Amino acid sequence: MEKIKLLIVDDNEVVREGLKSILEPQVDIDVIGEAVDGLDAVTKAEKLNPDVILMDAHMPGIDGTEATRRIKRSLPDVKVLFLTVYGDYVGSALDVGASWYLTKDCRRQDLMEAIRVLARSSRAKAKKPTE
């Protein structure tokens, strides 16, 4: 089974470490990197080519919405899952290409399932035969 390559983006180290501790033990998820802000997210996404990016909305400098816009320009097939406490960012995130969003108070099972669903949809698209 091919593991889901996941990039975690959040400016809060405690949040990043908490997410890693939840996700790394999953046999089908490989946390391939972490980014501390939007600009770091763009750079690491282009370097690591993740299947799914777990993106914080509100960060200093380039926020999650602008980072998503830039990432989707160079990596249109990557899936971006917004994880936020700020509901006002959701609409703009979806407008620039985010695939889905969850609030930071979601259950860990919901987070893992969202990552898996997005990765499957990405892989199904990539394997679709050309006509």
CATH label of the domain that carries residue 15: 3.40.50.2300
Within a domain: residue 131? no
Strands 100-103 and 4-9 turn out to be unpaired
Question: In the predicted model, what is the mean pLDDT of the chain?
Answer: 91
Let me know if residue 130 belongs to a domain: no
Span 85-129, pLDDT tens digits: 867 767 888 889 999 999 999 999 999 999 999 999 876 655 444
Nearest to 67 by CA among 115, 8, 119: 8
CA angle 125, 31, 66 (to 5 degrees): 65
Q: What single-letter amino acid sits at 6?
A: L
Domain count, the chain: 1
Q: Which domain holds residue 103?
A: 4-125
pLDDT at residue number 56: 95
What number is the average pLDDT over the span 9-26?
97
Look at residues 29, 51, 53, 31 and name the one whose alpha carbon lies nearest to residue 40: 53
Percent of the chain at pLDDT above 90?
78
Instruction: Note the pLDDT of residue 32.
Output: 98
116 inside domain: yes
Note whether residue 94 is domain-resident. Answer: yes
Q: What residue type is assigned to position 78 of the chain?
A: V
Structure token pair of residue 115: 């990552």
